[in-house]
Amino acid sequence: MILPLCILTLAQIIASGSASTPATDTSININLSQPGKAISPDLFGIFFEDLNYAADGGLYAELVQNRSFEYSPGDHKDWNSLTGWELIQREGAKGSVSVDDKEPLNANNPHYAVLNIETGGGGVGLQNAGFDGIVLKEGEKYDFSVFARQLDGPGTPLTLRLESKEGELLGEAILPSTKPTWAKASASIQVKKSADDAHLVLLGKGKGRVALDMVSLFPQKTFHNRPNGLRADLAQVVADIHPKFMRFPGGCLAHGDGLDNIYRWKNTIGPVEQRKAQRNIWRYHQTAGLGYFEYFQFCEDIGAKPLPVLAAGVCCQNSGHFIPGAPKGQQGLPMDQMQDYVQEVLDLIEYANGPATSTWGAKRAAAGHPKPFNLQYLGVGNEDQITPVFKERFQMIFDAVKAKHPEITVVGTVGPSPDGKDFEEGWKIANELKVPMVDEHYYKSPQWFLDNFKRYDSYDRAHSKVYVGEYAAHDDKRRTTLRSAIAEAAYMTQLERNGDVVHMASYAPLLAKAGHTQWNPDMIYFTNTKVAPTINYYVQQLFACNSGDTWLPATVDEHSGLATSAVRDSKTGDLILKLVNPGVTPQSVHFNFTGHNSFALTGTKWVLSGDSMAVNELATPTPLIPEKSPANLGSGLQVPACSLTVIRVAGKH
């Protein structure tokens, strides 16, 4: 018996271990003459949050840790302004270091180091080993800069040395003599020899006190060679997903741990030394060096539509647990601050889209981007507890954006779970206010994803569209496995099938640095030198690179257990089929195409399969990746157990 795909059940078929059962015959029938259903062209994207050292020490290419001496016990109980720095006294030199905030470079950046050089000797200075060591590559150039000010004494030239762990000199620059006012000194250094665990030393010899701030070292080779840019290898792996959109900067980071920790976008633009660093809700530090300008630019560089998320005038309901005495739970900005906050939201739209002559568009232009960033989507709120305090503030923001910028699609929030009180109350608000889209989140077991394979089939098409802003199948011990990736793939076929109501979806979280991870599992793990995409990464990549804008109804044999989806990309005319087998039985699939006389039965296929418990980790010697080969649909296909097969047939059908 043949059944439409939406009736298919996937429940209880996932299993661990490799396939051992003989293949079952299955046929898939597709009528190519049907017009199909228009689905979202922006379905598969990414969600970046500065969590797990995703930004500082991760994607943001700055190599100096605590460059502006703003680390504090608020970031992390063991940290202070000098964390990451070490006093150096070479060859008979004598001196000390302290921290001051009396005459800062900028009020947003209050702390600076003061080097007191008593005896010059071979130099008194500061050493920084970056984030777990500085990686330098032979022959490549690095841009160093520092702000310095001579507080007393005649002024001293500063020497910048890049050294290996053993002290070998890898690169050097002599900077001009320090002056009695803050001045920036810069140098470009070509590195003589590669090192994975280098450090930087900044030395002075002239007697007196020198103030130092914003000590920075960047590779010139950043992603797209952007100044103040992103780590090239890591950004490339993200770009290779070919996401249709990117949500940023969080997650919980966006609404913050307490009202004073809400992520305020205006603090993150302009010259980096004037940006306001702050504690990260994930209990470390955010420099804001990767700020709103850099996020928008990265989106543009990778061809992803930007989806910034701003707090809905309330902080996270989990606030206050780590700061003694801090108010606990959700709080709303006082009403007398809400008009300014609403204006801040409107100003972001002007910053992104306004002409270069507008107040905020001019700031974008000053940063080097006179053309608009074409903002289309704006998230307001993240997983918030749906309370009267939330609702009042959300509605103020929503009404203002709708009135002034009807062209912007506001994405509201329906709490942290796929059901329950906040979910229901969030949807009530969405229906009442007619919010164009809402953001649903769920982190569940692989089996949950299979059991909920029909979730969106029954969603009311007259209501808000859905953005599945955070989801991941968590296998046992919160790991990613092939089994979890395949459960996500099966689920993603329903996102395509329901691409008329589900407008966007993004796996979460995206990045995690080994040794600095607060959340598992994540899509991409990395160290300073390695990037390890999980198997789940390849599922995201296969779907994003092979998405369409028209969904075609197909039928499949009952009990095959296959989740399939057929879409057409109207730009290329390509037909794309996705076959997901979460079960233990391989399938011999036969295709019946009707409604077309001259359909080419050949194309390209990518297959992701293996042991269902396979895991791609940083130490995995041979990671599991999709295998690409020609596909001949005329002779049918073998679909392995626990697998995803994506087939692309080129041309106009």
Binding site for ligand AHR (CB under 6 A): 49, 51, 250-252, 382-383, 416, 470, 508-509, 519
CB of 183 to ligand AHR, least distance (A): 40
Task: Return the number of the residue (66 or 382) whose C-beta is nearest ligand AHR.
Answer: 382
Task: Return the number of the residue (123 or 256) whose C-beta is nearest ligand AHR.
Answer: 256
Task: Return the number of the residue (347 or 470) whose C-beta is nearest ligand AHR.
Answer: 470
Within 13 Å, how many C-alpha atoms sit on residue 279's CB side?
A: 22
Residue with tokens 């793990």: 525
266 by DSSP, 3-state: which? Answer: helix
Residues forming beta bridges with residue 209, ordered by sequence position: 116, 152
CB of 253 to ligand AHR, least distance (A): 6
Q: Which residue among 294, 383, 488, 496 is the active-site one?
A: 383
Beta-carbon contacts of residue 523 (< 8 Å; ≥ 6 apart):
472, 480, 507, 508, 509, 510, 511, 533, 534, 536, 537, 540
CB of 413 to ligand AHR, least distance (A): 9
CB of 510 to ligand AHR, least distance (A): 9
Q: Is 350 a catalytic residue?
A: no
Residues forming beta bridges with residue 442, ordered by sequence position: 471
Residues 631, 605 contacting (CB under 8 angstroms): yes
Task: Return the number of the residue (218 or 443) whose C-beta is nearest ligand AHR.
Answer: 443
- For CA atoms 341, 347, 351, 357, the dihedral sign is negative
- Of 494, 493, 428, 422, the closest CA to residue 464 belongs to 428
CB of 259 to ligand AHR, least distance (A): 18
Cα-based torsion angle of the residue sequence 68, 524, 375, 265 in order, rounded to the nearest 10 degrees: -30
In degrees, to the nearest 5, what angle opens at C-alpha 240 toward C-alphas 237 and 241?
Answer: 105
Residue 171 is inside which H or E element, if any?
A: strand 169-175
Task: Return the number of the residue (226 or 264) whose C-beta is nearest ligand AHR.
Answer: 264
Residue whose CB is nearest to ligand AHR in the complex, by number: 251
CB of 241 to ligand AHR, least distance (A): 17
Task: Return the number of the residue (45 or 509) whose C-beta is nearest ligand AHR.
Answer: 509
CB of 250 to ligand AHR, least distance (A): 5
SS (H, E, C) 109-146: ECCEEEEEEEECCCCEEEEECCCCCEEECCCCEEEEEE
Task: Return the number of the residue (85 or 394) whose C-beta is nearest ligand AHR.
Answer: 394
CB burial readout 591-614, b (16+ within 10 A) else e: bebeeeeebeeebebbbbbbbbbb
334 by DSSP, 3-state: which? Answer: coil
Which positions are annotated as active-site residues? 383
